[in-house]
């Protein structure tokens, strides 16, 4: 029998009205969590806070994935598969791994779409998540534990020339411009989805793909951290005929946090 995978994720502080499933907040880990949930691959979450990631990843023997301000970082998502005794880090490598290792499960990378999907992820996931970061700063800080926050500041503030992260949040006119830019980028994706015709909801028509999982992961981050009343989510939900509210509803069945 296949044993459940171990899935490493960073826990968020919970607000009073939030249930345990709100512990999952990172856009990067949601990319893999959605993929595992959609593919119905059994897994168990291991929560790990920012300052503990490096030592645990070194124990697992996985490499760093990211360089921030000249420093190589160990990151999550990471999985450990007890069925193969393999640990894999980096969201897109994990998705490739589970596609190959569990070929009997629904595929998120249908034939001939690999290159196009990778191009979508490299462009839109990256720029949407960068854009959202500067709009979500205060909520990201309050999602961190005290230890996590200290680590987050130490690794992120150098990116802003040492500015305190609270001061990096966009305000006023520059905030309005960044929100419009984010929504305009979603407009490009809205037009791409529309070319599928009919009632197609996803980039790959009626079926879900890795590109859609990546997009849903960013929107989940925006909605969960910013909240449904935030200026950013209000703008998104009013745009493109309500496409993104329906889009998020379509991912609801895949939002469990085991």
Ligand X SMILES: N[C@@H](CCC(=O)N[C@@H](CS)C(=O)NCC(=O)O)C(=O)O
- Which chain residues interact with ligand X by CB under 6 A? 10, 26, 28, 50, 53, 65-66, 73, 75-77, 90-92, 155
Q: How far is the CB of 71 from ligand X (least distance, A)?
A: 9
Minimum Å gap between C-beta 170 and ligand X is 20
Closest Cα partner for 202 from 122, 108, 125, 123? 108
CB of 130 to ligand X, least distance (A): 12
Element (H, E) at 47: strand 43-47
Side-chain half-sphere of 146: how many Cα atoms within 13 Å?
0
37 vs 239, beta carbon nearer ligand X: 37
CB of 133 to ligand X, least distance (A): 10
Nearer to ligand X, 101 or 155 (CB): 155
List of residues 6+ apart from 234 with CB closer than 8 A: 228
Nearer to ligand X, 10 or 232 (CB): 10
Between CA 26 and CA 29 the distance in angstroms is 5
**CB nearer to ligand X: pick between 90 and 99:** 90
Q: How far is the CB of 27 from ligand X (least distance, A)?
A: 6
Phi, psi dihedrals of residue 204, rounded to the nearest 5°: -100, 40
- Residue closer to ligand X (CB basis): 90 or 212: 90
Q: Which of 53, 30, 45 is nearest to 129 (CA)?
A: 30
Say if CB 223 and CB 255 are below 8 A apart: no
Residue whose C-alpha is closest to residue 52's, from 97, 6, 11:
11
| Cβ distance to ligand X smaller for residue 148 or 243 | 148
CB 133 within 8 A of CB 224: no
**Rounded to the nearest whole angstrom, what is the least distance from the CB of residue 76 to ligand X in the complex?**
4
């Amino acid at each position: 029998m296949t044993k459940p995978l171990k899935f490493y994720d960073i826990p968020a502080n919970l607000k009073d009205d939030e249930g345990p499933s709100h512990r999952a907040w990172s856009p990067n880990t949601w990319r893999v969590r959605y993929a595992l949930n959609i593919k119905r691959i059994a897994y168990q979450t291991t929560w790990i806070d920012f300052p503990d990631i490096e030592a645990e990843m070194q124990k697992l023997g996985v490499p760093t994935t990211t360089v921030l301000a000249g420093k190589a970082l160990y990151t999550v998502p990471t999985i450990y598969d007890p069925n193969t005794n393999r640990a894999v880090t980096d969201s897109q490598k994990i998705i490739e791994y589970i596609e190959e290792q569990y070929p009997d499960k629904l595929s998120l990378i249908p034939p001939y779409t690999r290159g196009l999907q990778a191009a979508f992820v490299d462009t839109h996931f990256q720029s949407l998540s960068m854009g959202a970061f500067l709009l979500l700063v205060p909520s990201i800080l309050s999602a961190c534990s005290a230890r996590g926050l200290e680590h987050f500041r130490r690794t992120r503030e150098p990116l802003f020339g040492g500015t305190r992260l609270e001061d990096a949040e966009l305000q006023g006119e520059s905030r309005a411009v960044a929100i419009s830019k984010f929504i305009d980028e979603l407009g490009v994706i809205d037009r791409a989805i529309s070319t599928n015709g009919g009632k197609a909801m996803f980039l790959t028509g009626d079926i879900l793909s890795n590109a859609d999982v990546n997009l849903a992961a960013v929107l989940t981050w925006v909605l969960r951290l910013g909240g449904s009343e935030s200026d950013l989510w209000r703008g998104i939900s009013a745009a493109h005929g309500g496409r993104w509210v329906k889009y998020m509803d379509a991912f609801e069945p895949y939002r469990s946090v085991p």
